[in-house]
C-alpha cells in the first residue's frame, strides 16, 4: 500500500560542508574523534576546520531536548515540548497522513530549539505484550509498523530535520537488554523484524538508523557486519549514518569495522584512541575509517543549517493537533448503547487517573509537556455537577478500602459512572518488562464494587500496552481504550465520550484472554543472557490464528458510533512473479450505513492456503482509512506488490512467490473478513537442484528425477526403493544414504549416473526426455 503523506521538499539547508575536501584535511586523530560524540547529545566539532557540532534528542512522541550539559543519564531538565500520543496510541489511528502532520509539528519544535536529529521513531515489533517499552512501539505487525513510520519520518524530514530509526534489530524486550542474545532464525528476521526497517529505508531514507543494545545470533548489534552492512546498506540501500543506542558500543574497533559510524555517548578518550591505534597497526584500513567519517560529516552538513535558525512554534496549535491525534487513537471496544453520553446526563467520575493523569511512558521518551488536559476537568466543563471519587490509590500506600466505600456512595447517586482505570507508571517503563497483563487489583475491586451499585458503567483505560480485560468487560456497558494519549488525552477522551468525535481507532495489537495464549509465552524473556524466538514467524495475530486461539479483541478491531458495509470486491492482477513485477489492485465499495459521519479502516489480508513452507494463516498487506458522511458510499482501491505474496526462501536465499492459489481477504479486523477472492498466481518453480543428498521424496517430486530413478530401479534387482509401502518409510532419507543399503535396487554407481544425467539435463533443458523442475 502506498502512503499519501506529503513529501514536500525540505527547506533550503544552505551550502553545508565540502565533505571530500575535509577528508583530505583532517588528521587521523580528528577523524577518530568524529566517530564518537562530544557529550550526551552532540556530535564532535573540529574548530580548526570549522566543522560545527549538531544536537540530537529523544523524541518519538515529543522532544526531550536538553541544550548544553545534560544530567549524567540525560533523563531530566528538558525544554517544554508538546507531548503527542505515544506510538502504541497513535498506531491505533491507522493513519499515516496523521503521523505526517505530527512529524511536521515535531520538526518545527526541533527547529525552534536548533535541534538537528530527532531520535525516533521506535519501530520494534511487539513480540510479547510484556515488553516494558511497548508504549514506544507501533504494532505487532511489520506492515502496519512500516507504513506508520514512513508517515512520521517523511513528516519530520520534510522540514529539514533528521530522524533515527530504532532499535535495529530484534530489540523486543527490556530484560537484560544490554547483554541478551536474541536467537532468531533468518526467515523470522526477514519476514517479521526487518521489514519495517526496510520499508522506511527504501521509501524515506531516514538520516540515521540506531543500532540496538542486544546481540543478534551471537553478535552485538553494534558489531554485526551482516546487520549493519550486508542487510542495511547493501541490500536495503541505506545511505545515512548508523548511530549506537546510548551505551551500545562495547568494542569500538569491531563496531567501526561492522559499519557503526557514530558512538553515543562517547567513551573518551578510550574510543578515539583505540581507533587511532587500530589504523596505525593496520587493523583498520584508512579507507574504512574514511567511510565512517564521511557519513558523520554528511550528517553534520545536512543538520547544521538549524544552528542559526531563530524560529518558534505555536504551542496552542500543536496542542490542538495532539488532541485530534489522541481522539483518533481511541479504540471503542464495547458499547451497549451508553455512548455517546447524553447531554445533561447525571454523571459521576471515579478513578484517581481521571484527576492525576498518566499520559506518557517513562524513560528516555519522557517529555516535559507544554500543558496537560485533565479528564476530570474536561468532563466538568462539559457537564454540570459532576461528582468525583478517587476510588483507589496509585502508590500502594493509600487506604483503598475507604476510597472504595466513598466511590460506591458516589456511584449510587449517579445515573452513569465513568470509571478511569489503567497502569501506574511503576508498572511499565523503559528498563524493565512486565510480568503479567493484569490491571492493579485495587482498581479491579473498585470496578466490581461500582458495578454492584447498579449504575451504568463506562470504563476508560489508560495504559501503554495491552492488559487483559476478563475482569473488566463483564462489569461495564462500554469500554474505551485510550492508551497513553499524550498531554491532550483528557480532552480527547471527553470528545469521544460526548460524541464530538466519532471513535475510529483500530487495535494495532491483539488483546488476548490470557498471557499464556501469546506465542512468545514459553520463550520470554529467556534466561542466562539468551532469548530464543521459538515462535518463529507466529507473532501476535499470526500466532493466535495459527493455533486457533480465541482472543478477547482481535488485531484491527474497533467499534464506531455508526456502521459500515463493504461490498463489490474486485482484485485485478498485473505483471509476472518471474520478473518481480507481480501486482494487484484491490477495489471495493465502502458505505456508511449509520446515522453520523465516521471513519472506517479497510484492511486487506493475503492468505496462502497451500505452501511448501509454514506460513501464517493470513497477513496484513494493505489498508486504507476512509471518512464518510452518513449514507455516503465510496470506492476504495488498495495496491499490493509482489512482496504481498512472497515469503523468504531460506533455500533460495531470496524473496519468493510460490505458484498456486492465494486468497485476498478484506474486512475490518483480522477476524472479520467478509469479502474474499481467490487469486491464481503463476510463478517459477522453487525446487532446489537435485543432488546425491536430496531425499527420495525430492527426487520423486521432480518429473525428470522420477524418470531417471525409475529407469535405474527397473534395471536393478528386486527390492525396489519405489515399493509404495517402503517409500512411505524411507522417502525422507537422502539418496546417498539409501544407496549404501543392500537390496535397494539403486547402488552408488547408479546414483552417480542419475545425479550426473539430471545435472546435464538441468543445464541443457532441451536434452531432457522429461520435464525438469
pLDDT in tens, 58-115: 988 999 888 776 544 544 568 899 999 999 999 999 999 999 999 999 999 999 999 9
> What is the per-residue pLDDT for 67?
77
The owner of cell 483518533 is 328
Distance of alpha carbon 507 from alpha carbon 120, whole angstroms: 22
Q: Is 573 exposed, middle or buried (0-12, 13-18, 19+ CB in 10 A)?
A: middle
Short-list 488, 487, 463, CA closest to 479: 463
Calculate the alpha carbon distances from 159 to 102, 116, 316 in Å: 12, 11, 20
What is residue 8's predicted lDDT score, i.e. its pLDDT?
36
Q: Are 447 and 470 in contact (CB under 8 A)?
A: no
Please give the pLDDT value at position 69.
Answer: 60
Residues in the chain: 773
Q: Residue 206 CA to chain centroid, in angstroms?
A: 16
Phi, psi of 190 (to 5 degrees): -65, -35
pLDDT of residue 2: 36
- Partnered with residue 220 across adjacent β-strands are 215
- In this prediction, residue 14 carries a pLDDT of 57
Residue 363 confidence (pLDDT): 75
Cβ 104 vs Cβ 153: under 8 Å: no
Alpha carbon distance 485, 89 (integer Å): 6
Q: pLDDT tens digits, residue range 694-742? A: 998 888 888 888 888 888 876 655 556 677 777 888 889 998 998 888 6
Instruction: Name which of 485, 622, 628, 602 is nearest 102 in CA terms.
Output: 485
pLDDT of residue 59: 81
User: CA nearest 513: which of 543, 555, 549?
Assistant: 549
**Strand pairing partners for 637?**
587
CA distances from 198 to 153, 168, 260, 309, 656 (A): 13, 11, 18, 33, 17
Catalytic residues: 245
The parts of the chain modelled with pLDDT lower than 70 are 1-14, 69-77, 714-721, 742-745, 765-773
CA distances, 99 to each of 81, 154, 299 (Å): 17, 9, 24
Alpha-carbon gap, residue 601 to 758, rounded angstroms: 52
- Per the CB < 8 A criterion, the answer to whether 420 and 436 are in contact is no
- Taking the C-alpha atoms of residue 146 and residue 143, their distance in angstroms, rounded to an integer, is 5
Amino acid at each position: 500500500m502506498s502512503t499519501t503523506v506529503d513529501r514536500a521538499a525540505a527547506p533550503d539547508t544552505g551550502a553545508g560542508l565540502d565533505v571530500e575536501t575535509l577528508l583530505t584535511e583532517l588528521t587521523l586523530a580528528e577523524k577518530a574523534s568524529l566517530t564518537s560524540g562530544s557529550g550526551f547529545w552532540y556530535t564532535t566539532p573540529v574548530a580548526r576546520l570549522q566543522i560545527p557540532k549538531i544536537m540530537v534528542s529523544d523524541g518519538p512522541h515529543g522532544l526531550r531536548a536538553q541544550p548544553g550539559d545534560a544530567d549524567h543519564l540525560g533523563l531530566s531538565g528538558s525544554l517544554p515540548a508538546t507531548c503527542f500520543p505515544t506510538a502504541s496510541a497513535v498506531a491505533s489511528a491507522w493513519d499515516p497522513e496523521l503521523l505526517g502532520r505530527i512529524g511536521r509539528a515535531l520538526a518545527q519544535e526541533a527547529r525552534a530549539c536548533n535541534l538537528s536529529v530527532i531520535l525516533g521513531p521506535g519501530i520494534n515489533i511487539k513480540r510479547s505484550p510484556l515488553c516494558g517499552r511497548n508504549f514506544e512501539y507501533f504494532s505487532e505487525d511489520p506492515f502496519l509498523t512500516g507504513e506508520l513510520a514512513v508517515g512520521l519520518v517523511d513528516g519530520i524530514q520534510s522540514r529539514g530535520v533528521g530522524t533515527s530509526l530504532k532499535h535495529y534489530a530484534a530489540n523486543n524486550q527490556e530484560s537484560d537488554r544490554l547483554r541478551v542474545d536474541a536467537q532468531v532464525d533468518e526467515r523470522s528476521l526477514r519476514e517479521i523484524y526487518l521489514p519495517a526497517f526496510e520499508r522506511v529505508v527504501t521509501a524515506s531514507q531516514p538520516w540515521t538508523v540506531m543500532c540496538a543494545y542486544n546481540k543478534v545470533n551471537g553478535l552485538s548489534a553494534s558489531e554485526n557486519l551482516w546487520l549493519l552492512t550486508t542487510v542495511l546498506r547493501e541490500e536495503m540501500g541505506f545511505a545515512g549514518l548508523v548511530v549506537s543506542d546510548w551505551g551500545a558500543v562495547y568494542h569500538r574497533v569491531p563496531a567501526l569495522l561492522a559499519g557503526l559510524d557514530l558512538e553515543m555517548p562517547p567513551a573518551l578518550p578510550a574510543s578515539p584512541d583505540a581507533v587511532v591505534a587500530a589504523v596505525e597497526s593496520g587493523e583498520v584500513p584508512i579507507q574504512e575509517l574514511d567511510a565512517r567519517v564521511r557519513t558523520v560529516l554528511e550528517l553534520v552538513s545536512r543538520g547544521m543549517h538549524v544552528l542559526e535558525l531563530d524560529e518558534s512554534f505555536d504551542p496552542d496549535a500543536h496542542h490542538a493537533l495532539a488532541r485530534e491525534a489522541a481522539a483518533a487513537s481511541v479504540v471503542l471496544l464495547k458499547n451497549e448503547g451508553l455512548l455517546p453520553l447524553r447531554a445533561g446526563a447525571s454523571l459521576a467520575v471515579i478513578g484517581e487517573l481521571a484527576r492525576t493523569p498518566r499520559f506518557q511512558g517513562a524513560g528516555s521518551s519522557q517529555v516535559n509537556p507544554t500543558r496537560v488536559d485533565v479528564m476530570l476537568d474536561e468532563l466538568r466543563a462539559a457537564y454540570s455537577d459532576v461528582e468525583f471519587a478517587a476510588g483507589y490509590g496509585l502508590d500502594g500506600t493509600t487506604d483503598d478500602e475507604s476510597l472504595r466505600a466513598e466511590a460506591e456512595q458516589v456511584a449510587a447517586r449517579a445515573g452513569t459512572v465513568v470509571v478511569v482505570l489503567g497502569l501506574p507508571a511503576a508498572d511499565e517503563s523503559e528498563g524493565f518488562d512486565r510480568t503479567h497483563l493484569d490491571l492493579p487489583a485495587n482498581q479491579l475491586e473498585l470496578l466490581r464494587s461500582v458495578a454492584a451499585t447498579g449504575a451504568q458503567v463506562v470504563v476508560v483505560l489508560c495504559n501503554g500496552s495491552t492488559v487483559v480485560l476478563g475482569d473488566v468487560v463483564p462489569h461495564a456497558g462500554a469500554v474505551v481504550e485510550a492508551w497513553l494519549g499524550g498531554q491532550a488525552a483528557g480532552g480527547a477522551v471527553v470528545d469521544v465520550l460526548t460524541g464530538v468525535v466519532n471513535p475510529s481507532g483500530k487495535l494495532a495489537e491483539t488483546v488476548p484472554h490470557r498471557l499464556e495464549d501469546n506465542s512468545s509465552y514459553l520463550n520470554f524473556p529467556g534466561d542466562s543472557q539468551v532469548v530464543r524466538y521459538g515462535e518463529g514467524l507466529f507473532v501476535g495475530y499470526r500466532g493466535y490464528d495459527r493455533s486457533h486461539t480465541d482472543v478477547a479483541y482481535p488485531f484491527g478491531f474497533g467499534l464506531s458510533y455508526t456502521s459500515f458495509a463493504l461490498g463489490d470486491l474486485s482484485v485485478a492482477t498485473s505483471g509476472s512473479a518471474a520478473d518481480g513485477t507481480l501486482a494487484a489492485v484491490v477495489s471495493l465499495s465502502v458505505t456508511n450505513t449509520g446515522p453520523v459521519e465516521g471513519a472506517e479502516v479497510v484492511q486487506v489480508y493475503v492468505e496462502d492456503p497451500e505452501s511448501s513452507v509454514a506460513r501464517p494463516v493470513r497477513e496484513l498487506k494493505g489498508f486504507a482509512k476512509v471518512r464518510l458522511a452518513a449514507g455516503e458510499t465510496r470506492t476504495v482501491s488498495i495496491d499490493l506488490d509482489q512482496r504481498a505474496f512472497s515469503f523468504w526462501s531460506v533455500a533460495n536465499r531470496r524473496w519468493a512467490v510460490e505458484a498456486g492459489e492465494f486468497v485476498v481477504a478484506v474486512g475490518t479486523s483480522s477476524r472479520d473478513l467478509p469479502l474474499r477472492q481467490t487469486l491464481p498466481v503463476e510463478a517459477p518453480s522453487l525446487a532446489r537442484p537435485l543432488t546425491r543428498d536430496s531425499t527420495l521424496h525430492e527426487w520423486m517430486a521432480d518429473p525428470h528425477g522420477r524418470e531417471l530413478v525409475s529407469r535405474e530401479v527397473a534395471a536393478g534387482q528386486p527390492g525396489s526403493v519405489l515399493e509404495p509401502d517402503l517409500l512411505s518409510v524411507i522417502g525422507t532419507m537422502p539418496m546417498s544414504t539409501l544407496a549404501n543399503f543392500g537390496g535397494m535396487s539403486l547402488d552408488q554407481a547408479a546414483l552417480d549416473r542419475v545425479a550426473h544425467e539430471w545435472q546435464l539435463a538441468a543445464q541443457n533443458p532441451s536434452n531432457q526426455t522429461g520435464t525438469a523442475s
